[in-house]
Structure 1
Amino acid sequence: MMKYLSDMNWWKQLSLNALTLLTALLAALTVAKVHIDWFTSDTINAIAQFIVAFGTFFVGSLAGIINTYITERSKKKAKEVAEKYAQEQAEAAAAKVAKAKEVLATTAENPETTPSTEGPVAETNITVQ
């Protein structure tokens, strides 16, 4: 919808459609011998010009609002999201490092529980005295 509202050709086409509709209405009223003093071809042209003028004003105002306020707010929100994501990633990495240090500290205290690096199954030598 927004792409139509920001396109001046769309507003011109809308005014042309309104002009056509009002001209047909004027013709139908003329044939029916109904005369309204203010409803003339000049009034119809003024309405069509008003639609184009309103479209120009609307598009210009909307572009100004978007570029000034909405874009700034969007940039600020995107920056906040990016900073939050980076912080979460740093916390996750710090948690992994802390867990690795904890595992190393545990294995340093109990060397018997240290996993073997020899093949898939480690042999244990148990001697009974």
Structure 2
Amino acid sequence: MPEIVTHPPKCERRLGRAPPQPKICESETGVGPPVRPVVWPAPRTPTHTSALVFRASGGVDEQQQKLCLVCLSEERNATIVHGETGHIACCLTCARILKFRKMKCPVCRLKIDTVIQHFWGDGIDSCDMYYQ
């Protein structure tokens, strides 16, 4: 009897096939009770409501969203530039270290072309302290 290979529903969708419906089939030896193939549970995806609840409950702290993805202690104040795009993912120190070590962008893994420091406009000219 040919062996039936089934994949989880997520894989079946990627392969462009609908997942097979479970069928009762004979055991390999033909002796004993029929065996039901494994049925994979449907993948769970977050619903719009659960995303709203996560956001309303605080989810990730706003301060944490501003922290460097590398050291997790300094505020993100640099853009890692690759081509015509970039990611604000790190503090300037970590971004420079990544570039110096020829590492890739921690967000998208593209080659780092350059690093740019940010000066957030907060009502005072924060650039003055660097150009005096």
- TM bin, normalised by shorter chain, reads under 0.3
Structure (1 or 2) with the greater helix fraction: 1
Structure possessing the higher relative contact order (Cα contacts under 8 Å, 6 or more residues apart): 1
Structure of greater Rg: 1
Structure (1 or 2) with the greater strand fraction: 2
Q: What is the TM-score with the length of structure 1 in the denominator?
A: 0.27
